[in-house]
Chains A and B, each alone.
Chain A
Protein backbone atom coordinates (compact mmCIF):
# COMPACT_ATOMS: atom_id res chain seq x y z
CA UNK A 1 0.00 0.00 0.00
CA UNK A 2 2.75 2.44 0.95
CA UNK A 3 4.50 1.59 -2.23
CA UNK A 4 1.40 2.47 -4.23
CA UNK A 5 1.08 5.82 -2.48
CA UNK A 6 4.68 6.74 -3.19
CA UNK A 7 4.16 5.74 -6.83
CA UNK A 8 1.10 7.98 -6.98
CA UNK A 9 3.08 10.86 -5.51
CA UNK A 10 5.81 10.33 -8.05
CA UNK A 11 3.24 10.39 -10.84
CA UNK A 12 1.63 13.57 -9.51
CA UNK A 13 5.04 15.16 -9.29
CA UNK A 14 5.78 14.25 -12.89
CA UNK A 15 2.42 15.68 -14.01
CA UNK A 16 3.12 18.89 -12.12
CA UNK A 17 6.54 19.32 -13.70
CA UNK A 18 5.16 18.53 -17.16
CA UNK A 19 2.28 20.99 -16.87
CA UNK A 20 4.63 23.71 -15.63
CA UNK A 21 6.74 23.19 -18.77
CA UNK A 22 3.66 23.41 -20.96
CA UNK A 23 2.37 26.59 -19.31
CA UNK A 24 5.89 28.01 -19.44
CA UNK A 25 5.87 27.64 -23.22
CA UNK A 26 2.47 29.22 -23.54
CA UNK A 27 3.83 32.70 -22.87
CA UNK A 28 5.98 32.51 -26.08
CA UNK A 29 4.37 32.43 -29.56
CA UNK A 30 3.81 28.88 -30.81
CA UNK A 31 5.86 27.62 -33.75
CA UNK A 32 2.72 27.15 -35.85
CA UNK A 33 1.69 30.77 -35.28
CA UNK A 34 5.16 32.01 -36.12
CA UNK A 35 5.09 29.95 -39.29
CA UNK A 36 1.82 31.59 -40.38
CA UNK A 37 3.22 35.04 -39.63
CA UNK A 38 6.42 34.37 -41.59
CA UNK A 39 4.44 32.97 -44.51
CA UNK A 40 2.17 35.99 -44.74
CA UNK A 41 5.10 38.39 -44.36
CA UNK A 42 6.91 36.69 -47.27
CA UNK A 43 3.73 36.48 -49.32
CA UNK A 44 3.17 40.22 -48.89
CA UNK A 45 6.44 40.98 -50.70
CA UNK A 46 6.09 40.52 -54.49
CA UNK A 47 9.72 39.35 -54.67
CA UNK A 48 9.19 36.38 -52.40
CA UNK A 49 5.98 34.53 -53.26
CA UNK A 50 5.22 30.83 -52.83
CA UNK A 51 8.00 29.84 -50.42
CA UNK A 52 7.89 26.98 -47.91
CA UNK A 53 8.26 27.85 -44.23
CA UNK A 54 8.94 25.57 -41.28
CA UNK A 55 9.46 26.75 -37.71
CA UNK A 56 11.00 24.65 -34.95
CA UNK A 57 11.63 26.22 -31.52
CA UNK A 58 11.59 29.67 -33.09
CA UNK A 59 14.07 28.78 -35.84
CA UNK A 60 12.48 29.50 -39.23
CA UNK A 61 13.61 27.43 -42.21
CA UNK A 62 12.58 28.90 -45.55
CA UNK A 63 12.94 27.00 -48.82
CA UNK A 64 11.89 27.44 -52.41
CA UNK A 65 13.00 29.51 -55.35
CA UNK A 66 13.16 33.24 -56.08
CA UNK A 67 14.17 35.19 -59.18
CA UNK A 68 17.38 36.86 -58.00
CA UNK A 69 19.97 37.24 -55.24
CA UNK A 70 18.41 40.38 -53.77
CA UNK A 71 15.13 38.54 -53.24
CA UNK A 72 17.09 35.69 -51.68
CA UNK A 73 18.68 38.09 -49.14
CA UNK A 74 15.31 39.71 -48.58
CA UNK A 75 13.97 36.37 -47.27
CA UNK A 76 16.33 36.50 -44.25
CA UNK A 77 15.40 40.12 -43.52
CA UNK A 78 11.65 39.55 -43.78
CA UNK A 79 11.55 36.26 -41.87
CA UNK A 80 14.03 37.53 -39.25
CA UNK A 81 11.80 40.54 -38.60
CA UNK A 82 8.81 38.43 -37.62
CA UNK A 83 8.07 38.37 -33.88
CA UNK A 84 9.15 35.12 -32.24
CA UNK A 85 11.74 34.18 -34.90
CA UNK A 86 15.08 33.56 -33.21
CA UNK A 87 17.04 32.83 -36.34
CA UNK A 88 16.49 32.08 -40.03
CA UNK A 89 17.80 29.16 -42.07
CA UNK A 90 17.68 30.59 -45.56
CA UNK A 91 17.54 27.59 -47.91
CA UNK A 92 16.03 29.61 -50.75
CA UNK A 93 17.75 29.18 -54.12
CA UNK A 94 17.94 31.58 -57.02
CA UNK A 95 16.21 30.41 -60.21
CA UNK A 96 18.57 29.88 -63.15
CA UNK A 97 18.21 32.50 -65.89
CA UNK A 98 15.69 31.44 -68.56
CA UNK A 99 17.13 29.42 -71.44
CA UNK A 100 17.38 31.67 -74.49
CA UNK A 101 14.86 30.95 -77.22
CA UNK A 102 16.16 28.56 -79.85
CA UNK A 103 16.12 30.15 -83.31
CA UNK A 104 16.64 28.06 -86.45
CA UNK A 105 19.55 29.15 -88.66
CA UNK A 106 18.58 30.74 -91.99
CA UNK A 107 19.56 27.85 -94.29
CA UNK A 108 17.52 25.08 -92.62
CA UNK A 109 14.77 27.61 -91.91
CA UNK A 110 14.59 28.62 -95.58
CA UNK A 111 14.15 25.02 -96.73
CA UNK A 112 11.61 24.34 -93.97
CA UNK A 113 9.66 27.46 -95.00
CA UNK A 114 9.72 26.24 -98.59
CA UNK A 115 8.20 22.93 -97.43
CA UNK A 116 5.57 24.71 -95.33
CA UNK A 117 4.47 27.18 -98.02
CA UNK A 118 4.48 24.71 -100.93
CA UNK A 119 0.71 24.26 -100.82
CA UNK A 120 -0.07 27.96 -100.39
CA UNK A 121 0.42 29.37 -103.90
CA UNK A 122 -0.99 32.76 -102.92
CA UNK A 123 1.96 33.69 -100.73
CA UNK A 124 5.68 34.29 -100.86
CA UNK A 125 7.78 33.79 -97.75
CA UNK A 126 11.37 34.96 -97.34
CA UNK A 127 13.80 34.38 -94.49
CA UNK A 128 16.25 36.91 -93.13
CA UNK A 129 18.07 36.50 -89.81
CA UNK A 130 15.43 34.13 -88.50
CA UNK A 131 12.53 36.39 -89.45
CA UNK A 132 10.00 34.88 -91.85
CA UNK A 133 8.31 37.60 -93.90
CA UNK A 134 5.07 36.55 -95.54
CA UNK A 135 3.54 38.53 -98.39
CA UNK A 136 0.57 37.87 -100.66
CA UNK A 137 -3.04 37.04 -100.00
CA UNK A 138 -4.71 34.20 -98.13
CA UNK A 139 -8.05 33.32 -96.60
CA UNK A 140 -8.11 33.58 -92.80
CA UNK A 141 -8.42 29.81 -92.26
CA UNK A 142 -5.52 29.10 -94.66
CA UNK A 143 -3.33 31.70 -93.01
CA UNK A 144 -4.06 30.14 -89.62
CA UNK A 145 -2.83 26.77 -90.91
CA UNK A 146 0.27 28.34 -92.41
CA UNK A 147 1.02 30.44 -89.31
CA UNK A 148 0.74 27.31 -87.13
CA UNK A 149 3.22 25.55 -89.40
CA UNK A 150 5.63 28.52 -89.54
CA UNK A 151 5.61 29.00 -85.74
CA UNK A 152 6.65 25.35 -85.45
CA UNK A 153 9.85 26.01 -87.40
CA UNK A 154 11.41 27.98 -84.51
CA UNK A 155 11.70 31.33 -86.30
CA UNK A 156 12.71 34.55 -84.56
CA UNK A 157 9.49 36.12 -85.76
CA UNK A 158 6.75 35.68 -88.34
CA UNK A 159 6.18 39.03 -90.01
CA UNK A 160 2.84 39.14 -91.81
CA UNK A 161 2.72 42.91 -92.32
CA UNK A 162 2.72 42.32 -96.09
CA UNK A 163 -0.07 39.76 -96.00
CA UNK A 164 -3.63 40.52 -97.02
CA UNK A 165 -6.41 38.44 -95.54
CA UNK A 166 -9.10 37.85 -98.17
CA UNK A 167 -12.73 37.25 -97.42
Chain B
Protein backbone atom coordinates (compact mmCIF):
# COMPACT_ATOMS: atom_id res chain seq x y z
CA UNK B 1 0.00 0.00 0.00
CA UNK B 2 2.72 2.43 0.92
CA UNK B 3 4.40 1.97 -2.46
CA UNK B 4 1.26 3.06 -4.29
CA UNK B 5 1.14 6.09 -2.03
CA UNK B 6 4.74 6.95 -2.80
CA UNK B 7 4.16 6.95 -6.53
CA UNK B 8 0.91 8.88 -6.22
CA UNK B 9 2.57 11.43 -4.01
CA UNK B 10 4.75 12.46 -6.94
CA UNK B 11 1.75 13.45 -9.04
CA UNK B 12 -0.67 14.90 -6.53
CA UNK B 13 -0.53 18.62 -5.89
CA UNK B 14 -0.44 19.67 -2.27
CA UNK B 15 -1.39 23.08 -0.90
CA UNK B 16 2.31 23.89 -0.87
CA UNK B 17 2.54 23.14 -4.61
CA UNK B 18 -0.26 25.58 -5.31
CA UNK B 19 1.19 28.21 -2.98
CA UNK B 20 4.61 27.99 -4.63
CA UNK B 21 3.16 28.21 -8.12
CA UNK B 22 0.98 31.16 -7.17
CA UNK B 23 4.00 33.00 -5.75
CA UNK B 24 5.97 32.22 -8.95
CA UNK B 25 3.06 33.48 -11.06
CA UNK B 26 2.72 36.69 -9.03
CA UNK B 27 6.43 37.38 -9.28
CA UNK B 28 6.19 36.89 -13.04
CA UNK B 29 3.24 39.22 -13.44
CA UNK B 30 4.11 41.90 -10.89
CA UNK B 31 6.76 43.88 -12.87
CA UNK B 32 4.36 44.10 -15.83
CA UNK B 33 1.48 45.14 -13.58
CA UNK B 34 3.67 47.75 -11.92
CA UNK B 35 4.74 49.06 -15.34
CA UNK B 36 1.09 49.77 -16.12
CA UNK B 37 0.52 51.31 -12.66
CA UNK B 38 3.37 53.80 -13.05
CA UNK B 39 2.15 54.57 -16.60
CA UNK B 40 -1.14 55.80 -15.11
CA UNK B 41 0.41 58.00 -12.43
CA UNK B 42 2.18 61.33 -12.26
CA UNK B 43 5.94 61.48 -12.45
CA UNK B 44 6.44 61.81 -8.69
CA UNK B 45 5.03 58.27 -8.22
CA UNK B 46 8.55 56.91 -8.37
CA UNK B 47 9.64 58.80 -5.24
CA UNK B 48 6.69 57.78 -3.06
CA UNK B 49 7.20 55.54 -0.05
CA UNK B 50 5.54 53.10 0.20
CA UNK B 51 5.39 52.72 -3.60
CA UNK B 52 1.90 53.09 -5.11
CA UNK B 53 0.37 49.80 -6.21
CA UNK B 54 -2.95 50.88 -7.71
CA UNK B 55 -3.58 52.68 -11.02
CA UNK B 56 -3.99 56.44 -11.07
CA UNK B 57 -5.67 58.79 -13.54
CA UNK B 58 -2.75 60.29 -15.42
CA UNK B 59 -2.58 57.95 -18.40
CA UNK B 60 -4.00 60.40 -21.01
CA UNK B 61 -1.56 63.13 -19.97
CA UNK B 62 1.36 60.69 -20.02
CA UNK B 63 0.42 59.46 -23.49
CA UNK B 64 0.19 63.03 -24.72
CA UNK B 65 3.67 63.87 -23.40
CA UNK B 66 5.01 60.66 -24.91
CA UNK B 67 3.63 61.30 -28.38
CA UNK B 68 4.81 64.93 -28.32
CA UNK B 69 8.28 63.95 -27.11
CA UNK B 70 10.80 65.50 -29.51
CA UNK B 71 13.51 62.84 -28.97
CA UNK B 72 11.73 59.51 -28.85
CA UNK B 73 9.81 59.42 -32.18
CA UNK B 74 7.59 56.93 -30.43
CA UNK B 75 4.80 56.75 -33.00
CA UNK B 76 7.33 56.30 -35.82
CA UNK B 77 8.93 53.57 -33.73
CA UNK B 78 5.62 51.74 -33.27
CA UNK B 79 4.83 51.95 -37.00
CA UNK B 80 8.35 50.87 -38.00
CA UNK B 81 8.25 47.90 -35.64
CA UNK B 82 4.85 46.89 -37.01
CA UNK B 83 6.25 47.03 -40.57
CA UNK B 84 9.39 45.08 -39.64
CA UNK B 85 7.65 42.43 -37.55
CA UNK B 86 4.74 42.07 -40.00
CA UNK B 87 6.89 41.68 -43.11
CA UNK B 88 9.32 39.27 -41.46
CA UNK B 89 6.51 37.16 -39.98
CA UNK B 90 4.80 36.76 -43.37
CA UNK B 91 8.05 35.88 -45.08
CA UNK B 92 9.34 33.50 -42.41
CA UNK B 93 6.09 31.54 -42.42
CA UNK B 94 6.03 31.35 -46.23
CA UNK B 95 9.67 30.33 -46.79
CA UNK B 96 9.87 28.08 -43.72
CA UNK B 97 6.75 26.16 -44.68
CA UNK B 98 8.04 25.72 -48.25
CA UNK B 99 11.41 24.46 -47.03
CA UNK B 100 9.85 22.40 -44.23
CA UNK B 101 7.55 20.73 -46.77
CA UNK B 102 10.53 19.96 -49.02
CA UNK B 103 12.52 18.41 -46.16
CA UNK B 104 9.61 16.41 -44.77
CA UNK B 105 7.86 15.15 -47.88
CA UNK B 106 9.97 15.56 -51.02
CA UNK B 107 12.83 13.27 -51.98
CA UNK B 108 16.01 14.92 -53.17
CA UNK B 109 19.71 14.26 -53.05
CA UNK B 110 21.50 15.57 -49.98
CA UNK B 111 18.33 16.33 -48.03
CA UNK B 112 19.60 14.79 -44.78
CA UNK B 113 22.94 16.57 -44.94
CA UNK B 114 21.29 19.89 -45.76
CA UNK B 115 18.88 19.50 -42.85
CA UNK B 116 21.83 18.88 -40.55
CA UNK B 117 23.43 22.08 -41.84
CA UNK B 118 20.27 23.99 -40.97
CA UNK B 119 20.21 22.55 -37.43
CA UNK B 120 23.89 23.48 -37.05
CA UNK B 121 23.22 27.08 -38.12
CA UNK B 122 20.76 27.38 -35.23
CA UNK B 123 23.71 26.91 -32.87
CA UNK B 124 25.91 29.53 -34.56
CA UNK B 125 25.89 32.89 -32.78
CA UNK B 126 25.43 34.95 -35.93
CA UNK B 127 25.11 38.12 -33.86
CA UNK B 128 28.88 38.05 -33.69
CA UNK B 129 28.95 38.95 -37.39
CA UNK B 130 27.51 42.42 -36.72
CA UNK B 131 30.63 44.29 -37.81
CA UNK B 132 30.87 42.90 -41.38
CA UNK B 133 27.08 42.95 -41.57
CA UNK B 134 27.22 46.65 -40.74
CA UNK B 135 29.87 47.12 -43.46
CA UNK B 136 27.72 45.17 -45.91
CA UNK B 137 24.72 47.37 -45.15
CA UNK B 138 26.86 50.46 -45.69
CA UNK B 139 27.82 49.18 -49.15
CA UNK B 140 24.18 48.45 -49.98
CA UNK B 141 23.35 51.91 -48.64
CA UNK B 142 20.82 50.29 -46.30
CA UNK B 143 22.11 51.92 -43.10
CA UNK B 144 19.30 53.70 -41.27
CA UNK B 145 16.74 51.91 -43.46
CA UNK B 146 14.33 49.23 -42.30
CA UNK B 147 15.52 46.92 -45.08
CA UNK B 148 18.72 46.40 -43.07
CA UNK B 149 16.64 44.91 -40.25
CA UNK B 150 14.09 43.07 -42.41
CA UNK B 151 16.09 41.32 -45.13
CA UNK B 152 18.55 39.27 -42.98
CA UNK B 153 15.61 37.89 -40.97
CA UNK B 154 13.36 36.83 -43.88
CA UNK B 155 13.79 33.11 -43.17
CA UNK B 156 15.29 31.37 -40.13
CA UNK B 157 16.76 27.94 -39.47
CA UNK B 158 14.46 27.62 -36.48
CA UNK B 159 11.42 28.20 -38.68
CA UNK B 160 12.48 25.65 -41.28
CA UNK B 161 13.19 23.06 -38.61
CA UNK B 162 9.89 23.66 -36.80
CA UNK B 163 7.87 23.37 -40.01
CA UNK B 164 9.78 20.27 -41.10
CA UNK B 165 9.03 18.56 -37.78
CA UNK B 166 5.36 19.41 -37.98
CA UNK B 167 4.99 18.61 -41.68
CA UNK B 168 6.46 15.13 -41.36
CA UNK B 169 3.59 14.06 -39.08
CA UNK B 170 0.71 16.34 -40.08
CA UNK B 171 0.82 16.13 -43.87
CA UNK B 172 -0.53 12.96 -45.45
CA UNK B 173 1.88 11.43 -47.95
CA UNK B 174 -0.99 9.59 -49.64
CA UNK B 175 -2.80 12.85 -50.25
CA UNK B 176 0.31 14.32 -51.88
CA UNK B 177 0.72 11.26 -54.11
CA UNK B 178 -2.93 11.33 -55.05
CA UNK B 179 -2.66 14.98 -56.02
CA UNK B 180 0.41 14.19 -58.09
CA UNK B 181 -1.43 11.44 -59.95
CA UNK B 182 -4.06 14.01 -60.76
CA UNK B 183 -1.33 16.09 -62.38
CA UNK B 184 -0.79 18.67 -59.69
CA UNK B 185 2.45 20.62 -59.81
CA UNK B 186 4.54 20.65 -56.61
CA UNK B 187 3.67 24.26 -55.93
CA UNK B 188 -0.04 23.51 -56.28
CA UNK B 189 0.35 20.60 -53.86
CA UNK B 190 2.03 22.95 -51.41
CA UNK B 191 -0.74 25.47 -51.70
CA UNK B 192 -3.74 23.13 -51.68
CA UNK B 193 -2.63 20.16 -49.59
CA UNK B 194 0.38 21.08 -47.45
CA UNK B 195 -0.30 24.63 -46.34
CA UNK B 196 -3.82 23.89 -44.97
CA UNK B 197 -2.40 21.00 -42.93
CA UNK B 198 0.43 23.17 -41.61
CA UNK B 199 -1.85 25.94 -40.41
CA UNK B 200 -1.51 25.33 -36.63
CA UNK B 201 2.30 25.22 -36.76
CA UNK B 202 2.36 28.20 -39.09
CA UNK B 203 0.33 30.19 -36.58
CA UNK B 204 2.72 29.36 -33.74
CA UNK B 205 5.77 30.15 -35.86
CA UNK B 206 4.17 33.42 -36.92
CA UNK B 207 3.43 34.44 -33.33
CA UNK B 208 6.93 33.58 -32.09
CA UNK B 209 8.54 35.36 -35.05
CA UNK B 210 6.42 38.48 -34.55
CA UNK B 211 7.38 38.65 -30.88
CA UNK B 212 11.08 38.14 -31.59
CA UNK B 213 11.17 40.85 -34.23
CA UNK B 214 9.06 43.30 -32.21
CA UNK B 215 11.43 42.89 -29.26
CA UNK B 216 14.71 42.77 -31.20
CA UNK B 217 17.28 45.26 -29.96
CA UNK B 218 20.95 44.56 -30.75
CA UNK B 219 20.97 44.63 -34.54
CA UNK B 220 18.54 47.57 -34.94
CA UNK B 221 20.66 49.42 -32.36
CA UNK B 222 23.78 48.79 -34.45
CA UNK B 223 22.38 49.64 -37.88
CA UNK B 224 19.59 52.20 -37.36
CA UNK B 225 21.54 55.22 -36.18
CA UNK B 226 19.14 57.88 -37.35
CA UNK B 227 17.22 58.89 -34.19
CA UNK B 228 14.27 60.01 -36.32
CA UNK B 229 13.72 56.53 -37.78
CA UNK B 230 13.84 54.06 -34.86
CA UNK B 231 12.10 50.80 -34.05
CA UNK B 232 9.96 50.96 -30.94
CA UNK B 233 12.69 49.36 -28.79
CA UNK B 234 15.14 52.09 -29.87
CA UNK B 235 12.50 54.69 -28.96
CA UNK B 236 12.35 53.14 -25.49
CA UNK B 237 16.09 53.42 -25.16
CA UNK B 238 16.03 57.07 -26.21
CA UNK B 239 13.30 57.66 -23.61
CA UNK B 240 15.06 55.88 -20.76
CA UNK B 241 18.36 57.56 -21.56
CA UNK B 242 17.05 61.12 -21.69
CA UNK B 243 13.95 61.27 -19.51
CA UNK B 244 14.89 59.63 -16.24
CA UNK B 245 13.24 62.53 -14.41
CA UNK B 246 9.90 61.67 -15.99
CA UNK B 247 9.58 57.96 -15.31
CA UNK B 248 5.82 57.90 -15.78
CA UNK B 249 6.38 58.95 -19.40
CA UNK B 250 9.11 56.32 -19.87
CA UNK B 251 6.89 53.64 -18.36
CA UNK B 252 3.97 54.72 -20.53
CA UNK B 253 6.23 54.05 -23.48
CA UNK B 254 7.25 50.60 -22.24
CA UNK B 255 3.63 49.78 -21.42
CA UNK B 256 2.38 50.80 -24.87
CA UNK B 257 5.25 48.91 -26.53
CA UNK B 258 4.36 45.78 -24.53
CA UNK B 259 0.59 46.05 -24.97
CA UNK B 260 0.33 44.56 -28.51
CA UNK B 261 2.26 41.45 -27.48
CA UNK B 262 0.31 41.19 -24.24
CA UNK B 263 -2.98 41.17 -26.17
CA UNK B 264 -1.63 38.56 -28.58
CA UNK B 265 -0.44 36.48 -25.65
CA UNK B 266 -3.74 36.63 -23.80
CA UNK B 267 -5.63 35.51 -26.94
CA UNK B 268 -3.17 32.90 -28.24
CA UNK B 269 -1.23 31.98 -25.06
CA UNK B 270 -2.43 28.38 -25.13
CA UNK B 271 -1.17 27.89 -28.71
CA UNK B 272 2.14 29.58 -27.97
CA UNK B 273 2.75 27.34 -24.96
CA UNK B 274 1.78 24.31 -27.02
CA UNK B 275 4.22 25.33 -29.73
CA UNK B 276 7.11 25.86 -27.33
CA UNK B 277 6.49 22.56 -25.56
CA UNK B 278 6.00 20.54 -28.75
CA UNK B 279 9.12 22.02 -30.28
CA UNK B 280 11.07 21.11 -27.15
CA UNK B 281 10.11 17.43 -27.22
CA UNK B 282 10.99 17.00 -30.87
CA UNK B 283 14.23 18.93 -30.70
Co-complex (A, B): no
List residues of A whose CB falls within 8 A of some B CB: none
List residues of B whose CB falls within 8 A of some A CB: none
